[in-house]
Each structure stands twice: as structure tokens, then as C-alpha cells.
Structure 1
Amino acid sequence: MSAKGNSAELLPGTFFWFQTAGELLELSGTDVLSFLHRMSTAEIAGLPLGQGRATVFVTEKGRIKDVGIVLHREPGNVEVFCSAGAGEELLAWLRRFRVLDDVRFHPPQRWGGAELHGAPSKELLTALGLPRVTPVHWGAGYAGEWRGYPLRCFRVPAFIPDSAYRLLVPEERSAQLWEALRECAGEPLTSEQVEALRIAAGHGRHGTEWTEEYNPWEAGLTELVSLTKGCYVGQEVIARLSTYDKVQRQLVRFYSPSSLSAPAPLFASQRQVGILTSAAFDPWRRQWIALGYLRREWVWTQEFQLETAPGVWVPIYRWDRNS
């Protein structure tokens, strides 16, 4: 692991890293696992001690509050890692549903860290003196220490083929982690480069694709939804959408030779058929790319129109997974 310079130079290649941040919600009490099981879409009640799993927190209408990672830290103690800026709102949401449960909530904590993407990520964990993560599901990971400070390591969706990991430490220690990564893996990607890679991978984020406008099926979060677990907030709506094939929209990738901005409505045949939620210039493909939601009956249409200024229309094209 001796790549120097900006790790973007390796693309399209095998490895890059970038800085990230999140918020930690700590919940304690004898009912914490069963409570979180009833508050989100994944199987949480039987989460083994010391292990993690990603899940979607949804409203009563089955709409997305946030995607978080639940870590069964200790008996009667669970950590929920949510998106940066989402902690206070998610905490207030969870408090609404505690009735007789033995659950205690603690104020959100800000954590910082990095994501490692690509095959060499495993070796980089070893170089940092960290254990590897054996399970492969989203949110698999552990609570550990690094240089005497708390560290959490989780598997996350990869922006390029192979593995990806998120390393998080208390915010005041994040600069030390970044410096260690620079020493063995070069400079991180810029936020603009990360946004382009995220969009190219078709991966949503809090505040754009993950909002209360959309449900997990529409956002492509199928792997985080259990159809066999018992009741949870939003379960009836989510189950009905699946059972009766009623999902109305789908998250889709786009590209365009013209500059794009989001959010913006998408048109086809002089009708609004969707909305762009994220857009960025891709420095490797040298074109603008975007994510957006299309009405289901339009997902196989190839060309759309976007109004970039009053009376100024530009073409935008659906980006097939094979392209």
C-alpha cells in the first residue's frame, strides 16, 4: 500500500479512499434490540453480540427517514450510526414510539472517518492494525480500538467492484486517522470526485435520494428489507407495495453532454415523468451524470428533456447498467 498522489489517479482502478462523517446514537436498556427491530426494516431482534447490520428507518407511510447501521455493542447496549446531520431528527422520531419499552436514549455524537473502496482495502485494514470483516452484508463490522481510541469498522456498498469499508472514530480523532491513511494510501478523493463515483454507482444518500418522498423499494434498498419479520413501523405499506406490485417509481442513472443541476423535473413527450435528485460532472468519463426517480412506466425510455433555463431544454439519457 504505497500509492502516492491523489488516489483518483488510480481510476478506473482498484482502490481509493475519501473522508466521511456520521452520527452515533447510543441506546441502552433490556429492550433495545426488540425496539429497533420494530422501528426499522431489517432483522435486528436476533443480531448477534458484537455484530452490525444496516437497516432503513421508515415512517408510518413506509417513507425513508434514514439508512443506518445498528451495532450490538454489549448486552443491553446498541449503537446506531446514521447519516451526518440526521441524528437529532432520528432520535426524536425514535422517542415518539417508546411506550413501555426499557430503552434509554443518549444525545447524538459526531464521528468522523474514511471510506476505503476496492480490493486493496483489506490489506489497508491490516496495515492500520485492524481486523478484517468476514461477513459480507451491508453493516457487518465491529467495535474496536485504534491507537487507544474507539473505532468502528463496517462494510458498506462499494462504488467500484470488490470490497468497501467505513472506518469511524470520534470526531476529534478523525484527523489522526486521515493522516495515517495518507501515509500508506496517498491523498483522499475530493468531495466532487466522491459525488461523481456515488452517482455512477447508483447509490443514494440522505437528503437527496433517501428522503420522506420515497420508499425503500423505489430507492433500491431491497437488501435491507425483510418480508418475513414481524410488525414494524411502516411494515404494512411496504409489504403491500411488494405483494401487489405497486411500486410507482425507480431510482435510475442518467448522463448528458450538457451541464446538469438537481433537483430538477424530468420530461418526456412533454410530460413530467420524474425528477433528478443528484448531479455531478464525472471527471473520468468527461460528462455529466445524475441520479433521479422515474415513474415506473418510463424506466425503459432512453431519452428525456431537462429545462436548464426558461425555454432552454437539453437532452438527458438513461444510463444502462451495462454501459
Structure 2
Amino acid sequence: MATTVTLPSMIIPRSWNSKLSSPHQNGPFWAKKTPSISSTLSLSSTKISRSSSSTTLPAALPFDLSPPPIDHDFLDALTLSGTKVSDDGIVETFDNDDEALDAVDNGVVVVDLSHYGRIRVSGEDRIQFLHNQSTADFECLHEGQGCDTVFVTPTARTIDLSHAWIMKNAVLLVVSPVTCQSITEMLNKYIFPADKVEIQDISKQTSLFVLVGPRSNQVMEGLNLGDLVGQPYGTHRHFSVNGMPVTVGVGNVISEEGFSLLLTPAAAESVWKTILSLGAIPMGSNAWEKLRVLQGRPAPQKELTNEFNVLEAHLWNSISQNKGCYKGQETISRLVTYDGVKQRLWGIRLSAPAEPGSPITINGKKVGKITSYASGRKESEHFGLGYIKRQAASEGDTVFVGDDITGTVVEVPFLAQQCPPSRGSSS
């Protein structure tokens, strides 16, 4: 049964998107179907049957649809509205970075993360394959659930932190922009002739939006998707917008709260406009990178490199210690058993800007290094992420960065939600 949301006149409350809210001369694809002064977004959910012990979720919709011919795609519309879009199609800024960062704490932002990678893993052996190739326990998950998992080297050095959705016919992996190609190639490399597994990069065939902030739930209610509010992290369901597939999941790249929307590019513009009309503030990639650092979410080529292992990155929630053999498992088990983690990723509140790679010292002795830096909402706010030796410093301690920068070690939200095992526990 289709659920229809009618939004009076699609009022956009911010001047920076007033152009985006008006149809172009030839009109976006959905405008021709909705000529009235009100804009209608139809979300049709497939039926979900529940029993006391199990949930049967609908089949995943295919994501190989080609968008219909339109005069302006989503990025064209944003560019015409004055948004800064890079040559490689990344939305950089809406010239509202401070407002967007404030909305993360007090409202809701919507971010276009379509430049992130989406990898579809299908075939009868897909669950066992991913179970063996990354750190999470895929065999304990069921259709409609999700998890974070880390791709590591055989010695447990970090490659990327990925979010996975378990669908009926496939597993969808969301990975960082810089690792999508290498992870796709790596997974294909480990497929043996007898394995029934197929790997497909569907990044260009899909769009990805995320909602962040305490008012994300209200946006979901406004979309008639309130039944997802309060569901466990990774829970996702399939809908359609004007006949085009949309998958909505709990959580986003930097938090277990908020929501993610995977959709066909043809639906992107109408869904984006509707989310804005419900009060969301758009955020560009420049502000998103600041938010990533402030939240403490590690990123490839910065915190996730061949220099650091997955436990030093403090990604405990993504690791199963009970599932048996998988890539990096021997190293991880040894580090846990013998308490061998020698350093840890922390947030560092800085007195001045710091270059990534700058040494962290205490009493003139190097104890770590800065991996990421971001300025805060004000020019006087400076924040970094960095690895520090376990015995050298912990939360609240003072450190020095570079030659004359003072830093205070602080916990950050993303890492604070990680749950390492208690000492002496193997679970």
C-alpha cells in the first residue's frame, strides 16, 4: 500500500536554496507528473510480516535502473542554485558551513555522500565470503539488518571501515571514496573458482544521502517513515519514490543515530527537495570533513593505514572475536589475549592549527602523531585526531604537538561508543 505525503507548496526556508525549489524551464523529471502547486512524494513500502520471533523483510529492489532523460540532473540543479560542486562531482559547500555544524547539535542536516563507494556483493556464497574477508560476524545477521565491518590486511592493518546492509539477494557495502576501487579489486582477487560470489561497484548507479542531528526523527516522521525511528542500528527497509527504489536505513557513516537513504539518481532531486522542505539544512563535503574529525570517525589514508591495526583504531564494535578464522584474525586474537595494543586513537583539542603528521610529545619525548586536523565553528577552535601510546597519556592529559602547540586529550563521540572487552574476557 502506498503512503503519500503532500507538502503544501514545497516551501524552502533558506535563501540559498530558493533557486533549487523552483522548477527549471524544462522542469525536473517529477514536475511533469505533479503539475499542481503542492508537491507529492509517494513512498510505497513493501509488506513486512512479523511474528513473535522473526521478521520477514521484502526482497531487495535492483539498483541497475537507468535514470530517464531529464534536462537537469541533481548536481546540475545544485550548481544552478549557487552550490559549489567540484569537477569530480562532490558537493563542497552551500556557503553555510557554520550553520550546518550548529544544526548537527540542534537540528538536522542532510548530506549528499554520493561520492562514497557502494559495492554490491551477490551470489549464494556472499555471506560466508564477507564473513571470511572482514572483521564482522556476517553469519549471525539476517535480512533487513546491518553492521559495521573493517577490511584489514592479513596482519590486521586497517584498510577501511565499511557499513553493510544485508538484503535478500545481496549485501550492500558503503565504503570510503578513496578505497572503493581497491576494495572491489581486493574482493574479486579472493574469489575462488568454486565460489558463487559476484562483486559489483554500483556507485554511479546510485545516490546516497544521510541525515544527521537530533531532529532526524522528525524528518522521518514527515516522510511517513516513522516506523524506522527507534529501530536498531543498521535496520533498513525498501520503498519506492514515484516507482523508483529507495532503501532507508538507521544510522549514517559517523553515527549509529540518524538515517541513510540509498536511491536511484533519478529520484535524488525530488527526495532532496522534500527533505529540505521538512527543515533539514544542507551540508557540503567541507563541513562534513570537519564533522568527521570532531566526531572522531577514522578515515582511510589518515587514521586507517598500513601503519595502524584495527584495535589501535579502537574499532571494537566492528570486530567479532568468536567467529573463527578470517583475514587478520590471528593477529587480532594475539593482541587481545596478550593485551598487546600499544597505542590508541584519540581526539585532541588544540591551541592552534596543526599539520597531519606532526609529532605528539610529552616532556620532549615523542608519544604519537596527528593524523587529521579541522578548524571548529570559530576561527579560535582547533581540533585533531591522533594516535598516542597507551602508557603515555589518556583523557584529560596535556600533550604538545609540533614545536609550540598545546593539546588536551579528549574522547570523541564515535570512538566513545566503541565497547572493548573487559580485561580477561575473550568475548
Q: Same fold (TM over 0.5)?
A: yes
**Counterpart Cα distance in 1 of 2:178 and 2:246:** 20
Stretches of structure 2 lacking an aligned partner (at least 5 in a row): 1-6, 15-98, 414-427
Question: Could you say what secondary structure the match of 1:215 adopts?
Answer: coil
The residue that corresponds to 1:279 in the other structure is 373
Matched residues in 2 for 1:159 and 1:56: separation?
Answer: 14
Equivalent AA in structure 1 for residue 106 of structure 2:
G
For the Cα contact (< 8 Å) 2:238–2:245, is it kept in 1? Answer: yes
Does the Cα contact within 8 Å between 1:133 and 1:141 map onto a contact in 2? no
> Against the structure 1 CA distance between its residues 217 and 144, is the aligned structure 2 distance closer, same or farther, given a 3 Å change threshold?
farther
Identical columns (%): 24
Among 357, 363, 367, the alignment partner of 1:269 is: 363
Q: Distance in 2 between matches of 1:165 and 1:80?
A: 16
Within-5 A mapping of 1:1-323? 4-5=13-14, 6-10=99-103, 12-21=105-114, 22-75=116-169, 77-99=170-192, 100-110=194-204, 111-130=206-225, 132=228, 134-137=230-233, 139-156=234-251, 163-171=257-265, 173-283=267-377, 286-300=380-394, 302-307=397-402, 312-320=403-411
| Alignment: residue pair count | 315
Label 1:207 to 1:321 Cα distance change in 2 as closer, same or farther (>3 A): closer
Query: Residue deviations 1:48-74, cap 9 Å, x none?
Result: 123322211111011122122222222
Contact 2:296–2:412 (CA under 8 A) maintained in structure 1: no
Question: Tell me, which stretches of 5 or more residues in structure 1 are unaligned?
Answer: none
Give the residue type in structure 2 aligned to 1:317: T
Offset at residue 88 of structure 1 (A): 1.3
**Cα pair distance change 1:216/1:174, threshold 3 Å:** farther
Which residue identity lines up with residue 267 of structure 1 in the other structure?
A: T
Q: Secondary structure at the match of 1:95?
A: helix
Q: Distance in 2 between matches of 1:226 and 1:124?
A: 34
Q: C-alpha separation between the residues in 2 aligned to 1:105 and 1:16?
A: 32
Distance 1:315 1:107 in 2: 44
Contact 2:209 2:260 in 1 (8 A): yes
8 Å CA contact 1:65, 1:212 repeated in 2: yes
1: distance between equivalents of 2:236 and 2:308? 28
Deviation readout 1:251-284 (Å, 9 max, x if unpaired): 1011122122323222222222111111111116
Distance 1:82 1:203 in 2: 13
For residue 36 of structure 1, report the CA deviation from its aligned partner: 0.6
Q: Is the 8 A contact 1:150 1:170 kept in 2?
A: yes
How far does residue 184 in structure 1 lie from its aligned partner after superposition?
1.7
From the superposition, tell whether residues 37 and 3 of structure 1 become closer, same or farther in structure 2 (CA, over 3 Å).
same
* SS at structure 2 position matched to 1:106: strand
Contact 1:56 1:225 in 2 (8 A): yes
Which amino acid in structure 1 is aligned with residue 110 of structure 2? W
Distance change (3 Å), C-alpha of 1:49 and 1:237: same
Q: 1:144–1:136: structure 2 CA closer, same or farther, 3 Å change rule?
A: same
1-structure distance, mates of 2:201, 2:286: 31
Q: Matched residues in 2 for 1:186 and 1:70: separation?
A: 25
Instruction: For residues 106-164 of structure 1, give each alpha carbon's deviation from its aligned partner in whole angstroms, at most 9, with x where no partner exists.
Output: 24423433221233212212323445155323x3323433343332323336868x822
Between the aligned partners of 1:292 and 1:178, the Cα distance in structure 2 is: 35
Mean CA deviation greater in 274-283 or 206-215: 206-215
Counterpart code for 1:18: V
Residues 28, 176 of structure 1: CA spacing in aligned structure 2 closer, same or farther, 3 A cutoff? same
TM-score, structure 2 normalization? 0.66
Q: Which has the higher strand share?
A: 1
Partner Cα distance (2:104, 2:145) in 1: 32
Q: TM-score, normalised by structure 1?
A: 0.86
CA distance in 1, matches of 2:103, 2:143: 38
Say whether the 8 Å CA contact 1:252–1:299 is kept in structure 2. no
Deviation at 1:11, TM superposition (A): 5.9
- CA–CA separation in structure 1 for the residues paired with 2:342 and 2:392: 10
Aligned partner of 1:136: which letter? P
How many angstroms does 1:185 deviate by? 2.0
Residue 39 of structure 1 deviates from its aligned partner by: 0.8
> Which stretch shifts more, 214-223 or 277-286?
277-286
Structure 2 SS opposite 1:35 = helix
In 1: Cα distance, 2:173 partner to 2:411 partner: 34
Give the residue type in structure 1 aligned to 2:179. Answer: A
What is the DSSP-based 3-state SS (H/G/I as helix, E as strand, rest coil) of the residue aligned with 2:401? strand
* In 1, Cα distance between equivalents of 2:247 and 2:305: 26
AA aligned to 2:190 is F
Superposition RMSD in Å: 2.8
Q: Which moved more, 1:116-125 or 1:218-227?
A: 116-125
